[in-house]
Structure 1
Amino acid sequence: MPLTDTAIRKAKPSDKPVKLTDGQGLYLLLRPDGARWWRWDYRRPVTGKRNTLSLGTYPDTGLADARAKRDEARRLLAAGADPGEQRKAAKASGQERAANSFEVVAREWLEKQSAVWVPAHSTKILLRLQNDVFPWVGGKPVAEIGARELLAVLNRVVDRGAVETAHRILQNMGQVFRYAIATGRADRNPAADLRGALPPVKQTHLAAITEPARVGELMRAIDSYQGSFVTKCALQIAPYVFQRPGELRSMEWAELDLDAAEWNIPADKMKMRVAHLVPLSRQVVSILREIEPLTGRGKYVFPGVRSRSRPMSDNTILAALRRMGFDRDEMSGHGFRAMARTILDEVLGVRPDYIEHQLAHAVKDPNGRAYNRTAHLEARTKMMQDWADYIDGLRDQSNVLPFPKRSGTSR
């Protein structure tokens, strides 16, 4: 007799497995531990050997569902296919799809790139993908994603007003697809089809003070800063060395040679993953010797407030600038770099390649080779001291040179 739900519920387990048959090879296997498994017995189409297919557990798979699965398997068998082999193939296909999903490929690409990127840059890209891409297309095979799906992902970002972020995400997705093509998991890059599909980014520049007279005001404000001594020292050094805020706040005593007046930044801290040498002016060495008794026994020159085992917060310099009265559209932490670059070039007439090299930008020699960390060291050392003396003169109002009037030609 065919099974009924009532008969299944009333069935009691014994010390040995019990078969409750339903018909056409379907039965419920009642195990001693009380588990109820649907099974279907059949013979393979080619060899005629007996085989058993699992169809789920009761009550998650009810009687009607078990019969439907059996009937589908019987249709495959009638067509000459082995239902067991079909299931294995489907499972293997699903595993392959999962292994080649956009998220898996993206994480693999990101892991390889992290070897040449600073950790903060890798983390920023991963967060973009996790927040705005993976939830929508992360589980899909990378080869099956089209431009329309990518545009839908990007439009969600645009709709919340983050147009620049959308452009960065599009760039990152294109990089993932190019990696997928290179590793044989995709044939084309649909991100390339979206060129021009996003609203243009409104060009903005990081706020920076570049007028010499205003630089003098900034230097006087820093000297008068009433906050933490550690923060004041970081503020005082920032305009002299004009490194990126993250590089400055994570400065370590082990990287400094005060006798040689050098700051050797290791490659893993630099944006371009290339070790960088910063000649230190007399002013910077003096400030570092002043703070050394306070923080010199620790790892960081500018430790955090809550833990001396970590560097100061990336918002500390910015908050100090606001506290001194410099608005967000007037001066930023990165602004010290733009300030130095502009005035060194346009007022002091320093060779642009010296400036770019000291900014740790990608600079090549006439033969196309990248300059090493000691290139033009003597000239850059002089430039850094001249720059420190110049901005000290601005602070003291004894060396305010206006911007020269430009002719129609450029240097």
Structure 2
Amino acid sequence: RYRLNKKIQSIKIGKYPTTTLSSAREKANIFNNMLAEKIDPKEQIQKEDIQKSKTLKEVFNEWSQVFYKNNTSYNLSKRLKTHIISKYEDKHINELAKNDILLILDKLYVEGKLETIKRVFLGLKKMLMYAINKEYIENSNILTLDMKALYGSPKKQNLRAITKEERFKELLLAIENYNGNIFTKVALQISPYLFLRSANIRNLEWSEIDFKNLKIIIPANKMKGGEDFIVPLSESVIKLFEFIKPFSFHNSKYVFPSDISKSKTMSE
């Protein structure tokens, strides 16, 4: 215990026998020298811990490698990177506070993106638990945030399927007559032929298309099942990929890149 600025503070030197008596005396001398210079030992240790700790980006990159191998969901990690890591990548992980996270999640709530909130926070929890187990942080009060209490539960909507032939013809005709973004049009044109979610189509990479053997091979780290997913392709779909190839093959790894940045995928 020590007194500084009329306040009594306490600081742990260590536990015996892990910390020897000579080591404890040495630390006590260091702390006394700090107090003589009006430096708070507790604050100084916290500053040093921050300097030694990893940044959010470093922890995310490390965790991602393990996460992809164990493979829970490719998009979980991607959403976390987009909404949290990109904003605070240089912040030390032990400095990350509830308010930092709530600023992001509140914005998503205003935009009506409740499902995104759920996914982003799930990814964040997994990364923080990884950091705790690696002893990069002792704990995080961010883990006590209750998404249901803060934002409620997202309402599930069952989208009506098109079952009538005439309606399906109308849909295909509407896609054919669409004169907007070329990537959007081709993505819509191929979707009826592929057994893929819209996210898998948007995240499709050129390296995953086997033109010679007429198939798409989506790697295990993008699939919930943890196995490569193979989709056979018809000649008509191959022709659509060949058509769009000049627009993105040489400047993006993605088949359907974003208009804003070729290093990102087309948005939903």
Considering the TM-score relative to the shorter chain, is it more than 0.5? yes
* Paired residues of 2:76 and 2:120 also in contact (CA < 8 A): no
**Secondary structure of 2:245's partner?**
coil
Find the partner of 1:199 among 151, 155, 175: 151
Shift of 1:239: 0.4
C-alpha distance in structure 1 between counterparts of 2:182 and 2:257, whole Å: 17
Q: Deviations over 1:10-61 (max 9, x none)?
A: xxxxxxxxxxxxxxxxxxxxxxxxxxxxxxxxxxxxxxxxxxxxxxxxxxxx
Query: Which residue in the other structure is 2:141 paired with?
Result: 190
Query: Which residue in the other structure is 1:303 paired with?
Result: 245
Q: Which has the higher helix share?
A: 2
**Secondary structure of 1:171's partner?**
helix
Query: Which residue in the other structure is 1:238 paired with?
Result: 191
* Paired residues of 1:264 and 1:277 also in contact (CA < 8 A): yes
Query: Which residue in the other structure is 1:255 paired with?
Result: 210
Supply the AA of the counterpart residue of 1:96: D
**Secondary structure of 1:303's partner?**
helix
**Secondary structure of 2:169's partner?**
helix
Asked if 1:313 corresponds to 2:256, the answer is yes
Supply the AA of the counterpart residue of 2:235: V
C-alpha distance in structure 2 between counterparts of 1:232 and 1:80, whole Å: 71
* Paired residues of 2:75 and 2:222 also in contact (CA < 8 A): no
C-alpha distance in structure 1 between counterparts of 2:180 and 2:86, whole Å: 37
Query: Which residue in the other structure is 1:154 paired with?
Result: 102
Query: Which residue in the other structure is 1:175 paired with?
Result: 126
C-alpha distance in structure 1 between counterparts of 2:235 and 2:209, whole Å: 14
Find the partner of 1:285 among 215, 235, 238: 235
User: Per the alignment, do residues 90 and 228 of structure 1 end up closer, same or farther by CA in structure 2, a change over 3 Å counting?
Assistant: closer
Q: Deviations over 1:247-277 (max 9, x none)?
A: 445355861345xxx5141416734463111
* Paired residues of 1:245 and 1:314 also in contact (CA < 8 A): no
In structure 1, the gaps of 5 or more residues are 1-75, 296-300, 317-332, 335-411
Matched length:
220
In structure 2, the gaps of 5 or more residues are 1-28, 260-266
C-alpha distance in structure 2 between counterparts of 1:187 and 1:166, whole Å: 25
Shift of 1:190: 2.9
Query: Which residue in the other structure is 1:217 paired with?
Result: 170
% identical equivalent positions: 15
User: Per the alignment, do residues 278 and 246 of structure 1 end up closer, same or farther by CA in structure 2, a change over 3 Å counting?
Assistant: same
C-alpha distance in structure 1 between counterparts of 2:128 and 2:211, whole Å: 42
Query: Which residue in the other structure is 1:43 paired with?
Result: none
C-alpha distance in structure 1 between counterparts of 2:248 and 2:144, whole Å: 48
User: Per the alignment, do residues 200 and 278 of structure 1 end up closer, same or farther by CA in structure 2, a change over 3 Å counting?
Assistant: same
User: Per the alignment, do residues 81 and 239 of structure 1 end up closer, same or farther by CA in structure 2, a change over 3 Å counting?
Assistant: same
